[in-house]
Amino acid sequence: MPGKLKVKIVAGRHLPVMDRASDLTDAFVEVKFGNTTFKTDVYPKSLNPQWNSEWFKFEVDDEELQDEPLQITVLDHDTYSANDAIGKVYIDIDPLLYSEAATVISGWFPIYDTIHGIRGEINVVVKVDLFNDLNRFRQSSCGVKFFCTTSIPKCYRAVIIHGFVEELVVNEDPEYQWIDRIRTPRASNEARQRLISLMSGELQRKIGLKVLEMRGNAVVGYLQCFDLEGESGLVVRAIGTACTLDKLSNTSAFLPACNSPSKEMKESPLVHPPSHGCRSTHNSPIHTATGSRLTQNFSVSVPTLIYTGMGSGSAGKEGGPFKTLLRQQTQSALEQREFPFFTLTTFPPGFLVHVGGVVSARSVKLLDRIHNPDEPETRDAWWAEIRQEIKSHAKALGCHAVVGYSESTSICEEVCILSASGTAAVLNPRFLQDGTMEGCLEQRIEEASPPGCGFCHIPYDELNMPFPAHLTYCYNCRKQKVPDVLFTTIDLPVEAIVVGKGCLIQARLCRLKKKAQAEANATSISNLLPFMEYEVHTQLMNKLKLRGMNALFGLRIQITVGENMLMGLASATGVYLAALPTPGGIQIAGKTPNDATYDQHISHMQKKINDTIAKNKELYEINPPELPEEIIGSPIPEPRQRSRLLRSQSESSDEVTELDLSHGKKDAFVLEIDDTDAMEDVHSLLTDVPPPSGFYSCNTEIMPGINNWTPEIQMFTAVRVSRLSTINPTNQTLNKNFNDLCENLLKSLYFKLRSMVPCCLCHVNFTVALPEDELVQIAVTAVAITYDKNQALQANKAPTEKSQQRASTDNEEQLQFPLELCSDPLSSQPFSPAKEVLEGASSHTGIPAAQRATSVDYSSFADRCNSWIELIKLKAQTIRRGSIKTTTSLEKASPLAEGYLRHRSVPSCTNSTVSVVKMTPLSFLPGAKITKYLGIINMFFIRETTSLREEGGVSGFLHAFIAEVFAMVRAHVAALGGNAVVSYIMKQCVFMENPNKNQAQCLINVSGDAVIFVRESELEMLPVQPSTAAPQPTSSAGDVTT
Amino acid sequence: MSSDLDVFVGNTTLIDEEVYRLWLDGHSVAEAVARRLRGGVLEREGTSVAVLQSDTRDHYRTFQMLERLLHAPPRLLQQLLFQIPPERQALLVQRYYAFDEALARELLGKKLSKGTKKELDEVSARTGVGIRSCRRQFDNFKRVFKAVEELRGPLAENIQQLFLLDYAAIVFFANSRFETGKRRLQFLSFADFAACAQSMMGHWSQGALGEPPDPRAPEAAEPDGDLPKSFLQDLKELKVLVADKDLLDQHKSLVCSALRGKISVYNELEANFKALSRALVNVGGKLTHARDVRDFFVDLVEKVIEPCRSDKWSPGDLRLFLTHYTAARHQALWERYMAAITACLLRMYHD
């Protein structure tokens, strides 16, 4: 499919002054694609040039279309010397290559320079005409859709979920080429930005080819990362889940897919691909890397812990045969795949049958030993090794698949830690391939595993347990065995029955290591890793129990390597699953029982712990229904070598003078305090402060126990760099400092967002980096969403005995809360009431129009003066119309068309206000329906300065840069015709400074899905006026844009 | 453990009104933190001083970045860097350009020059407005003045379009250089002068005639900040009212007969009529000379307001007198002239 790319340069505005003499600029534009360049005329002496160029046409094949970015450079013409570059805009034209996404890119883009930041804006229109070509041996994969979202996108239905796709490309890093010594920082940065853009395009095209080979049409949960290896190169790698998606075309399909999952799925015909036995999952062509080559690379494989709820037990009696049958069939479906991995974290109902637990693998590699650094073979082999390990871990848990799968790296000098983790699971084969067994199985599967608890039931064999554990019968169905604790990397399944609310749980850890070189360094790191994993696990377990909860979702463990230390940060969302047993408390056992004061101290601590648990239970509303004590577990006493962490079945310990029976009865978790370290650990457990009242937090898509969101959201990124320096750093002091750093950061977030209370921080994503000795960098991206407290209370009161709630993402529930809250910001949020607004100033200065009339004969003056403000307010109304409950006027009845007009508004209309673009790390927008996915946003920026102090120091520099990145993302989305980015993620934020030289550099990589959303309230309006322009939101959006 | 780098960036830019106020008042971060502490945030939110410092610094950085845009308010609407809801944008501009009346009163009629800027230290001490805030407000005046200097058309509307706010009075005064600093004028507030400026522009400027400005007329090309020359020239014709004794007597008898019994200070009026009338007419006649223009308010106070006050006229008396004094003659020019003079005098007639 060769195509014709057409570009038109319309105008510029707010350009910087390039000619000091005249205070003006003679700007022109270069438009470059591949090797072809066009130029506009010079528009002399203006900071707001109107080029209105002709259409520049590039005739290119689609392979090029996929790989290359469109590069627009704005320059200042200079008759006597070289033209000065003002800045550039890179436009990824991929969204124009598939039919259902955007058809035109048109709008104002910030002109970006890697040294000066944003310098004015340029208005550009881009179109692509694709010609059909029946060449089967094509190298392009136009038409395959990409989604960052780790669930099936809202306006699609999964016909088949094919499975894992991955790809990796390597190139020399321009920053390390010889030429970098002689070129300017700007040239170097631009070379790097362009290269990464090219590599991303190539990577995406190659993954697309694999998807086509698998007969899929989309990649969901697409995660692309960069490894800045330094001397050995620049790696761009990506993983994702290949799917065949079907666009939901009618409004009825908008109704929640999970409303009646089984029924709907039976009705929906399955598309059987003619041949599913493709070998396409043979991912890396060089998979068969020879052993000899590998031995040249130093590699240490780290023994990995398998986290799970520790449990075992035979499959329930009734369910047994089906389970076996199911397993066999799933197995057959999955065994054709090299890696039965899924990057999804949320699944269609019925897809997830059982969850085994978290599996993870890490391996330490030396980058300077790569035999052939420019080729991807070695890295492919590394990852293949790790994936193999993950696969075998999953097998050990009786699972054939891994869901919520992700990969990451941490690099320090020549050492690289590769990590992979996921959740071992048993899946329903129905989605994986043709549905031959479906007819006979489906009914029974549903019987065998009740939706609310089925996924908790153990997949492994009770008699042949992979690890020592403690099982009980499911507290929900009483038929199957469940573990006492469940850890997973996925989101809480929609159908899960939970008690109370969830909360963010973090384990934080520092470990010093000696500075060393090469093998010695790698060996010491790999020796430390298992201990860190163990400690992280212990911390998570303790903190979970401290909150009276029994399961973790969205678990993400990040191990970061630095020169002289390793840091571990695990984040997850704790929750009380009704199907699992009530967690026991934590008991402290002293080592020297004779000492009276010591005993007193111990019992004091015990009391504190018990108090904390009680408080947390109240805070998170964990009041599980009382169950008769008929449930018999099959505890298997375990010989544990590690001494500090002991589990026992001791009925309430006698040394505790505790009253709380709820965790006195159950078997408790005993912490033995045998040295000061242990004491510190217990102390640190208690330092986690709960969020201030009105705040909740989680790192998953949905907050368990809260579902009445209002549409008010605030996405943010916060970055902190701190020195953990102490004169003689010990693990304890470092741990404490690191812990304080994280806690203070959270505290600061709560304070910043206090005006949004009651609210929940969702998808809280921490990333840790160690840019230099003792410097720790923490970056957090999350979204704060306000929820309706009153409704929550009502919902709780209504079913009084039903303290169990469905943790529901269900959009249909979201749309039921009133949107009035945000409808009139003026009335709901008055300008600071009178206090110091006027401060002696006359009536005009701070008074909103509504109150204006009070003033004296001077008021007519004030009247006129307010007119501009009126104008702004008027515009506010127009913009807000998108979010307020609309009345039945005809004009307002078609918000879609209006939104369309707004975004496509004529660029020359310079008075138009900037359209609002929402950003969120979640896959949905509360109170809104996503009607269209416009394509993936994947942007990489470098910013550098040689005048750090003048730009406000490191904070000023990074503050401006992050704001610029947001602005560029928003501009691209708006140009695609969208009004939001979902599944937004900041994948990398690499910050380096050299204060002595007054220099700093930062690299940021972000991605997400550009979408069009429509407010629920507006959607409701649509059917009322079917005759107007936009009768059907889903399909019409596509029609309108074409 | 110190945080070297500490930033928070929201997709929607967070604006804290309290911190904005502190920033506008010219407080340093440390002072702002101290003030917020005194305001009791810690107790209310249960947070720490470190958090408050970090938060304040974040806001200050944001405001510093925004300041560039606030210098040209319409750009704030178009810029892409900060996503700020329109009503918040309006608030930012309103607050940024709001001024302390005490300061404005000091600066009224002064040349917005470097010299004046240097005197701001004293002004700051006199008015109690922080010096940094004084400088910012001074720069605001200057920026507005400079921006509308070159523009055609109604001054107030121009300013509204560019800056949204009521700077017309200040610009009008800076343009005409009326004397406002004399001791006998101290009793007048900024609001008084602003109201006078509004009346004068309202009644006397070209746009006020209610007819489209004649493009051929010389004053059509003049900025609205200056009073139209032809109008001022015409005012000279009014002198005949006091120069011609018959006319003056006729005027007096008309006014007196109308007011007899209706006004408590009738005798004083009758005695002072000629002096008052001379003062009222001459003020207008002098407006053609820049030097005399300066004395406009001084003359009004000295020759009209002070005599009336010493004779204990009530404001009602003055209003009644001016109404009939104006009505006694039917002439468009006269009515146009007296409308502004009446409004000014009534506004200024207080203690």
pLDDT in tens, chain B (351 residues): 455 899 999 999 999 999 999 999 999 999 999 999 998 888 777 788 999 999 999 999 999 999 989 988 888 888 899 999 988 988 898 889 888 888 888 887 777 777 788 888 888 888 888 888 999 988 888 888 777 776 666 666 666 666 655 677 777 777 777 888 888 888 888 888 888 888 888 888 765 554 444 444 444 444 455 677 788 888 888 888 888 888 888 888 888 888 888 888 888 888 888 888 888 888 888 887 777 778 888 888 988 899 888 888 888 889 989 998 888 888 888 888 999 899 999 999 887
CB contact under 8 A, B5 and A917: no
DSSP β-bridge partners for residue A506: A571
Q: Per 3-state DSSP, what percentage of chain B is helix, strand, and coil (rounded to 5)?
A: 70, 5, 25
Kindly list the residues from chain B whose CB atom is less than 8 angstroms away from the CB atom of residue A721: 3-6
Q: How many angstroms separate the CA atoms of B187 and B298, rounded?
A: 12
- 3-state DSSP assignment of residue A759: strand
A754 near B CB under 8 A: yes
Contact B61 A839 (CB under 8 A): no
CB-closest option in B64, B95, B191 to A952: B64
Q: Do A721 and B4 touch (CB under 8 A)?
A: yes
Contacts of B13 in chain A (CB under 8 A): 963
A321 in contact with chain B, both atoms CB, cutoff 8 A: no
Nearest CA in chain B to A843: B191
Give the separation between CA A958 and CA B207, rounded to whole angstroms. 50
Q: How many angstroms away from the CA of A882 is the closest CA of chain B?
A: 13
What proportions of chain A, in percent to the nearest 5, are helix, strand and coil? 30, 30, 40
Question: What is the per-residue pLDDT for A751?
Answer: 92
Chain B residues in contact with A873 by the CB 8 A cut-off are: 86-87, 90
d(CA A926, CA A710): 6
What is the model's pLDDT at position A1010? 94
pLDDT at residue number A779: 95
Helices B168-176 and B131-149 sit at what angle, rounded to 10 degrees? 70
Interface of A with B in 692-751 (CB under 8 A): 692, 714-725, 737, 740-741, 744, 747-751
Q: How far is A951 from chain B (nearest CA, A)?
A: 10
| CA A636/CA A648 separation, integer angstroms | 10
Listed by number, the residues of chain A in 864-883 with a beta carbon closer than 8 Å to a beta carbon of chain B are: 864-865, 867-869, 872-873, 875-876, 879
- Closest residue in B to A980 (Cα) is B11
- Partners of A864 on chain B (C-beta within 8 Å) are 156-157, 160
Residue type, A802: K
What are phi and psi for residue A272, nearest 5 degrees?
-95, 120
CB A645 within 8 A of CB A484: no
- Coil vs helix vs strand at A15: coil
Q: Which of A566, A539, A567 is nearest to A555 (CA)?
A: A539
Contact A808, A785 (CB under 8 A): no
CB within 8 Å: A914 and B83: yes
B-chain residues near A720 (CB < 8 A): 3, 5-7
Record: contact B190-A862, CB cut-off 8 A: no
pLDDT the model gives residue A320: 43
Chain B: residue whose CA lies nearest to A912 = B78
**φ, ψ at A526 (rounded to 5°):** -70, -25
Which residues of chain B neighbour A13 with C-beta distances below 8 Å?
A: 78
The residue of A119, A121, A744, A925 whose CB has the most chain B CBs within 10 angstroms, and thus the best one to mutate to test that interface, is A744
> Shortest CA distance to A132 belongs to which of A140, A121, A122?
A140
User: Which of A747, A857, A861 lies nearest to residue B48, judging by beta carbons?
Assistant: A747
Q: Is A985 on the interface with B (CB under 8 A)?
A: no
pLDDT value of residue A154: 84
**In contact, B344 and B200? CB cutoff 8 Å:** yes
CB < 8 Å to A869, chain B: 90, 93-94, 164
Q: Which residue of A has its CA nearest to B61?
A: A956
Q: Are A417 and A357 contacting, i.e. CB atoms less than 8 angstroms apart? A: no
Question: And the tokens for A393?
Answer: 């871990």
CA-based nearest residue in chain B for residue A780: B8
Q: What pLDDT is attached to residue A138?
A: 54
SS3 A220: strand
Tokens of B130: 């922080």
Separation in Å, CA A90 to CA A27, A256, A326, A479: 18, 38, 50, 58
Query: Least CB-CB distance to B1: which of A716, A723, A825?
Result: A723
B310 touches chain A (CB under 8 A): no
Residues of B numbered 145-174 whose beta carbons fall under 8 angstroms of chain A's beta carbons: which are they?
A: 156-157, 160-161, 163-166, 168
Residues paired with residue A497 on neighbouring β-strands, in sequence order? A806
The minimal CB distance from A841 to the residues B51, B101, B161 is found for: B101
Tell me, what's the ipTM? 0.77
A:549-608 residues touching chain B, CB 8 A cutoff: none
- What's the pLDDT score for residue A633? 43
> Would you tell me which residues 13-72 of chain A have a C-beta closer than 8 angstroms to some C-beta of chain B?
13-14
The angle subtended at Cα A1031 by Cα A1028 and Cα A1035, nearest 5°, is: 140
Query: What per-residue confidence (pLDDT) applies to A91?
Result: 93
pLDDT at position B245 is: 85
Task: Determine, for residues A751 and B51 on separate chains, whether the beta-carbon distance falls below 8 Å.
Answer: yes
**A652 Cβ under 8 Å from any chain B Cβ:** no
Partner B, chain A 777-806, Cβ-Cβ below 8 Å = 777
Alpha carbons A665 and A627: distance in angstroms, whole number:
13
> In percent, how much of chain B has pLDDT > 90?
17
Q: What is the mean pLDDT of each run of 10 residues along chain A (1042 residues)?
A: 87 90 90 93 93 93 84 90 89 81 87 94 91 56 85 88 92 81 86 92 91 90 92 91 82 36 33 29 27 33 41 34 51 66 88 88 88 85 92 87 94 91 86 48 47 79 68 81 89 88 92 85 89 89 89 93 91 92 78 70 83 86 66 40 32 30 42 63 72 89 85 94 78 86 92 90 93 88 88 44 41 34 36 36 38 35 41 44 34 38 37 79 92 92 92 92 96 94 94 88 95 82 45 37 32
| A-proximal residues of B, 46-75, CB under 8 Å | 46-48, 50-52, 54-55, 57-58, 61-62, 64-65, 73, 75
Is residue B242 within 8 A of residue B278, CB to CB? The reply is: yes
Which chain A positions have a beta carbon within 8 Å of B102's beta carbon?
840
In the stretch 214-233 of chain A, residues with CB closer than 8 A to chain B read none
Q: What is the pLDDT of residue A590?
A: 66
Question: Are the beta carbons of A840 and B101 separated by less than 8 Å?
Answer: yes
How far apart are the CA of B179 and the nearest CA of chain A, in angstroms? Answer: 22
CB-closest option in A722, A747, A971 to B47? A747
Euclidean distance between CA atoms A388 and A671, whole angstroms = 35
Look-up of token digits 């009338």: B277
How confident is the model at residue A591, as a pLDDT? 64
| Residues on chain B touching A970 (C-beta within 8 angstroms) | 11, 80, 83
pTM over 0.90? The answer is no
Asked if B8 and A750 come within 8 Å (Cβ–Cβ), the reply is no
**CB-based contact (8 Å) between B126 and chain A?**
no
CA gap A108, B79 in Å, rounded:
10
| Residues of chain A neighbouring B26 (CB-CB closer than 8 A) | none
How close, in Å, is residue A903 to chain B by CA atoms? Answer: 14
CB atoms within 10 A of CB B38: 9
